[in-house]
Amino acid sequence: MKTYRIAAIPGDGIGTEVVSAGVEVLEALAARDGGFAMAFDHFDWGGEYYKKHGRMMPEDGREQIRRHDAILFGSAGHPDIPDHITLWGLRLAICQPFDQYANVRPTRILPGITSPLRHVTGPELDWVIVRENSEGEYAGVGGRVHQGLPIEAATDVSMMTRAGVTRIMRFAFRLAQSRPRKLLTVVTKSNAQRYAMVMWDEIAVEVAKEFPDVTWDKAIVDAMTMRMTLKPESIDTVVATNLHADILSDLAAALAGSLGIAPTANLNPEREFPSMFEPIHGSAFDIMGKGIANPIGTFWSSAMMLDHLGAFGAAARLMRAIERVTADASLHTPDLGGQATTRKVTDAVIAAIRADNE
């Protein structure tokens, strides 16, 4: 029997609440399936670890998780520590060296959930956003001089490479090609940003030639927010830079009902390093410790993890269980307008997994 070795890194805030729920659900799936086992190693890295050790993860942290089949991540972000330290010390310290350059964020309206867009009932909104996850605005290039003085200057340089843009563009065209509509929107801002974004557009034209069966268009990022809200049916697969896609995918999650539902896969498509799966949300300081975090984003991310591992039957079973639960409004957490707790939703998903006979 195949055993999948998973590194669980809950991080902080509601990250800890949703990852422990995710682990329970994955164990229930393995028990129901019988064809595979899940072995979890838990890592207590994050803000509390930082308070004790002065860093978010041990120096050899990446070495400790290098050989796992996948990583299940919660959130980096602690109320007592500046966000750039928690983010760069943990999430980006794993994503970037492990070359998880393709960040994949599916969005659709699950059964029982109401979009804030009045006329959208479901089928019109079914997107996958591909986020460049290794460079661009989050390349970490920049600096500050004369800190605190009136003459202080600071830069965050968006650095894009031909190799980096080409590989994410190919990934997005290939993904679009695998979906029924074969439709890709390349998001850009090359009207105002006239170097890297112009290269981005040129590479899109070049890569498109390799995929003659994919229909594609370009959208300026600001206009894209309007199109997402007013013409959701005109969109299928989207590719955007690290920052642009970060913003567009929170909008996408909100349009599909809640940030708490939305999943992410941070993929190293060449499988040289483990890939990492996490909900798109953060530590949610306003609700942490209350037991009301929506765990669906983590469950959906876990389904993406199972797909990545090749456990397709278990992934499909998990998605069926999620949809059975979202269809029942008495199982909605407060972010969806309900009163259910994380515990109640988790128990319901586990019950749905056990009852699933397909």
Task: Please report, as ranges, the residues that interact with K ion according to CB under 5 A.
Answer: 75, 278
Q: Which one, 99 or 246, has the nearer CB to Mn ion?
A: 246
d(CA 76, CA 285): 11
Q: Does 274 bind ligand NAD (CB under 6 A)?
A: no
Hey, what are 47's tokens? 């803000």
Q: Which one, 301 or 346, has the nearer CB to Mn ion?
A: 301
Q: Does 91 bind ligand NAD (CB under 6 A)?
A: yes
Minimum CB distance to ligand NAD, residue 241 (Å): 17
List the Cα angle 146/194/221 in 5-degree steps: 95
The neighbouring-strand residues paired with 264 are 278
Interacting residues with Mn ion between 91 and 120 (CB under 5 A):
none
Hey, what are 331's tokens? 């199982």
Q: Which of 7, 71, 76, 238 binds ligand NAD (CB under 6 A)?
A: 76
- Positive or negative CA dihedral for 261, 68, 6, 36? positive
Interacting residues with Mn ion between 241 and 260 (CB under 5 A):
246
Q: Does 89 bind ligand NAD (CB under 6 A)?
A: no
- Residue 293, binding choice from K ion, ligand NAD, Mn ion, none, Cβ under 5 to 8 Å by partner class: ligand NAD
d(CA 224, CA 153): 31
Stretch that binds ligand NAD, among 53-61, 100-108, 176-184, 275-283 (CB under 6 A): 275-283
d(CA 134, CA 100): 7
Q: DSSP label at 87?
A: I
Exposure class string for 195-210: b at 16+ Cβ within 10 A, else e: ebbebbeebbeebbee
Q: Which one, 61 or 260, has the nearer CB to ligand NAD?
A: 260
Minimum CB distance to ligand NAD, residue 105 (Å): 11
Stretch that binds ligand NAD, among 94-102, 156-164, 189-197, 279-287 (CB under 6 A): 279-287
Q: Which one, 208 or 247, has the nearer CB to ligand NAD?
A: 247
Q: Known catalytic residues?
A: 138, 189, 222, 246, 250
Minimum CB distance to ligand NAD, residue 28 (Å): 20
Interacting residues with Mn ion between 161 and 190 (CB under 5 A):
none
Amino acid at the residue 215: T
Sheet containing 36-42, strands listed edge to edge, beginning at the edge strand earlier in sequence: 36-42, 2-11, 70-75, 275-279, 263-267, 102-108, 126-132, 237-240, 183-188, 215-220
Q: Which of 10, 46, 77, 232 binds ligand NAD (CB under 6 A)?
A: 77
Beta strand extents in 65-214 (DSSP E only): 70-75, 102-108, 126-132, 136-145, 153-159, 183-188
Which 3 state secondary structure label does DSSP give 199? helix
Q: Does 284 bind ligand NAD (CB under 6 A)?
A: yes
Q: Does 96 bind ligand NAD (CB under 6 A)?
A: no
Stretch that binds ligand NAD, among 75-83, 102-110, 133-141, 165-173 (CB under 6 A): 75-83
d(CA 297, CA 85): 24
Q: Binding residues for ligand NAD, per CB under 6 A?
A: 14, 75-77, 83, 86-87, 91, 259-260, 278, 281-287, 293-294, 297, 333, 335
